[in-house]
Amino acid sequence: MRGAVLYKSYCSGCHGDDPDAGTQGIYKGLTAEVIEAAYRRVDSMRLLASALTAANNADIAAFIESRVRR
């Protein structure tokens, strides 16, 4: 799954290996829109807004969705 690879490379350093057990509100990242808004809001994530495409963010959101138990 593409999102799993992207998550591991770009997100797990701050948010933990598993989004379900992860930190800093990563479990909220269920859509590309939420993720992109977070890049804009959080200074330490700002670089990701240019590093990742909308398609990347959708893949990451799908991975987070598949991991988070609600």
42 is an interface residue for ligand HEC by CB under 6 A: yes
Among 38, 59, 63, 67, binds ligand HEC (CB under 6 A): 38
- Using the minimum distance from each CB to ligand HEC, give the nearer residue, 60 or 67: 60
**In the complex, what is the shortest distance from the CB of residue 1 to ligand HEC, in angstroms, rounded to a whole number?**
14
| Cβ-count burial 25-56 (b if 16+ within 10 Å, e if not) | ebbebeebeebbebbeeeeebeebeeebeeeb
Q: Is 22 in the site for ligand HEC (CB under 6 A)?
A: no
What CA–CA distances, in Å, run from 10 to 17, 18, 22, 45, 70?
11, 13, 14, 10, 24
Residue from 3, 32, 36, 45 that binds ligand HEC (CB under 6 A)? 45
